[in-house]
């Protein structure tokens, strides 16, 4: 097959990049499998004594703050430093930074060590990291923190300013996803509420982003990941009868996307 050089999925399947993931145990199994479905190779090492070595030999680094522990709080900075020194692209998923001061301050620490190429979070998490008032309900975005026609222009301006200030790309997830860089913005409206009825779909999306970061730029990686995963969710819903079969179908539909 001739590889389309603008298609992250085809590039990933051709390159089979190694993706180092330091993530939570709640979704780690699904995160590894979605990377495989995308065409990458996952490695989930998190012991502080080995992560630097693992990151050094990887093509992208994915950090997820879910269910954070002392061990991962030691490991993540070590891996991040290696990634920065070797120009290995990084995705940071800001899970819980709007509901936990520990995670908020730790995310700030990581961003000060090295700004990841892609920051991912829901609206509450990105508002909190931007110094705005957020209304999170646990790790979920609050009902007041949603993208609407009334606030769309304001939020686009706010997040583009932050993307420019931080020199990164932002993926703000929700019913409508928003991908923002200093000079580009795209809104993605596909997907299904069924994706919120199983644990870990947000974490999985972050891992797809990290996988694509290994072969393309951060904006393209985020847009492609969000669009493809949403499409897979829509197709999975049509072929499932509940959360269990939906989860299985989600993997199959994502894997089979061209």
Cβ-contact 63, 79 below 8 angstroms: yes
40 is in an annotated binding site: no
115 is in an annotated binding site: no
96 is in an annotated binding site: no
Q: Residue 200: left (phi > 0), alpha (psi -120 to 50), or beta?
A: left
What is the 8-class DSSP label of residue 26? T
Alpha-carbon distance of 232 to 234, in angstroms, equals 5
Instruction: Please state the length of the chain.
Output: 258
One-character DSSP codes across 84-142: HHHT--EEEE-TTTTT-HHHHHHHHHHHHH---SEEEEEHHHHHHHTT-----BTTBPP
Alpha-carbon distance of 218 to 89, in angstroms, equals 9
Q: What residues does 173 pair with on adjacent strands? A: 122
Using CA atoms of 227, 5, 12, 53 in order, give the dihedral in degrees to the nearest 10: -120
Maximum Cα–Cα distance across the chain: 49
120 is in an annotated binding site: yes
Cβ-contact 81, 48 below 8 angstroms: no
By DSSP bridging, strand 60-64 and strand 118-122 are unpaired
Which residues fall in the annotated binding site?
44, 120, 173, 200
Which residues fall in the annotated binding site for ATP?
120, 173
Which residues fall in the annotated binding site for substrate?
44, 200
């Amino acid at each position: 097959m001739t590889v389309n050089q603008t298609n992250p999925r085809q590039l990933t399947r051709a390159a089979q990049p190694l993706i180092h993931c330091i993530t939570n145990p709640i979704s780690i199994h699904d995160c590894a499998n979605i990377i495989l479905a995308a065409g990458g190779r996952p490695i989930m090492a998190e012991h502080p004594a080995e992560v630097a070595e693992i990151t050094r030999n990887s093509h992208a680094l994915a950090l997820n703050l879910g269910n954070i522990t002392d061990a991962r709080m030691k490991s993540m900075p070590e891996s991040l430093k290696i990634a920065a020194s070797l120009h290995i692209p990084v995705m940071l998923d800001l899970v819980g930074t709007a509901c936990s001061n520990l995670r908020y301050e730790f995310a700030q620490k990581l961003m000060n060590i090295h700004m990841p190429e892609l920051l991912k979070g829901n609206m509450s998490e990105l508002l909190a990291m931007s110094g705005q008032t957020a209304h999170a309900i646990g790790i979920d975005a609050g009902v007041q923190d949603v993208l609407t026609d009334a606030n769309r222009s304001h939020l686009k301006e706010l997040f583009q300013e932050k993307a420019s200030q931080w020199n990164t790309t932002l993926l703000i997830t929700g019913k409508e996803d928003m991908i923002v860089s200093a000079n580009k913005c795209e809104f993605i409206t596909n997907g299904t509420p069924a994706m919120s009825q199983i644990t870990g779909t947000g974490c999985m999306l972050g891992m797809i982003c990290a996988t694509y970061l290994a072969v393309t730029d951060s904006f393209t990686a985020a847009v492609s990941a969000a669009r493809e995963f949403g499409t897979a969710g829509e197709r999975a819903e049509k072929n499932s009868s509940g959360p269990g079969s939906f989860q299985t179908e989600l993997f199959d539909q994502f894997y089979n996307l061209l």
